[in-house]
């Protein structure tokens, strides 16, 4: 055998050995599994509200035929019909109309009845909610904005009662005779 042949055989043998080593290095076992039917679904928080027997996401109540010294109580029922608890339940109040009797001197700007209606308490299921000391009247409650009533569990119902009275001033309050005020209550649930 010539030198060229011996060299060619040596190169071929080296290449075959390298191929065997390389092939053995990359050999492995494998197994696979497939997971199907995986889903992701979100939960819900859903507010139901009933104010004085009127069901809506925002509902009206009317205070009428009251005289100085009279008290009032506004029952509000809140229900979370969602699948998750609400971390916070909020209520806010706003005046939708304020009218005086025909021929009266009532002016809804200067004689705002809401300055005469005190907020004595707000309770949730009989538990008193501590309001900021700045809330003394319905007008203060409106200006404050959202009142946090706490959490509301999924499927739970809370009975909220806003109680107060028509102030009895030491002077005549004739401008308030025949006044009717209508209010809107807005509810909100958040996580």
What pLDDT shows up at residue 59? 62
Closest of 47, 65, 4 to residue 158, by C-alpha: 47
Specify if 126 maps to a domain: yes
What pLDDT shows up at residue 180? 82
What pLDDT shows up at residue 19? 62
Specify if 31 maps to a domain: no
Specify if 16 maps to a domain: no
What pLDDT shows up at residue 61? 74
Specify if 110 maps to a domain: yes
Number of domains in the chain: 1
What pLDDT shows up at residue 20? 63
Residue 124 belongs to a domain with what CATH number? 2.60.120
Query: Counting runs of H as helices and runs of E as strands, what totals does the chain give?
Result: 2, 10
Hey, what are 98's tokens? Answer: 């304020």
- Domain residues for the domain of 125 are 47-190
What pLDDT shows up at residue 5? 75
Specify if 104 maps to a domain: yes
Unique residue bearing structure tokens 């501590």: 130
Q: What is the pLDDT along the chain (191 residues), one digit of tens a residue?
A: 677 777 667 666 776 666 666 555 555 777 778 888 777 877 888 888 887 666 665 566 777 678 999 999 988 899 999 999 999 999 998 888 888 776 676 776 677 888 899 999 999 999 999 999 999 999 999 999 999 999 999 999 999 999 999 999 888 888 888 888 888 888 899 98
């Amino acid at each position: 055998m010539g030198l060229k042949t011996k060299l060619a055989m040596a190169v071929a043998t080296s290449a075959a050995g390298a191929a065997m080593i390389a092939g053995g290095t990359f050999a492995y076992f494998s197994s696979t599994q497939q997971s199907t039917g995986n889903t992701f679904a979100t939960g819900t928080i859903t507010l139901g509200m009933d104010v004085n027997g009127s069901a809506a996401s925002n509902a009206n109540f009317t205070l009428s035929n009251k005289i100085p010294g009279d008290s009032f109580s506004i029952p509000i029922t809140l229900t979370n019909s969602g699948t998750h608890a609400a971390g916070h339940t909020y209520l806010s109040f706003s005046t939708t109309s304020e009218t005086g009797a025909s021929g009266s001197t009532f002016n809804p700007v200067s004689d705002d009845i809401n300055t005469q209606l005190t907020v004595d308490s707000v309770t949730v299921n009989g538990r008193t909610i501590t309001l900021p000391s700045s809330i003394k009247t319905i007008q203060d409650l409106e200006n404050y904005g959202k009142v946090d009533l706490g959490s509301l569990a999924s499927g739970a119902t809370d009975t909220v009662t806003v109680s107060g009275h028509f102030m009895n001033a030491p002077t005549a309050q004739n401008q308030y005779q025949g006044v009717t005020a209508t209010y809107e209550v807005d509810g909100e649930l958040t996580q």
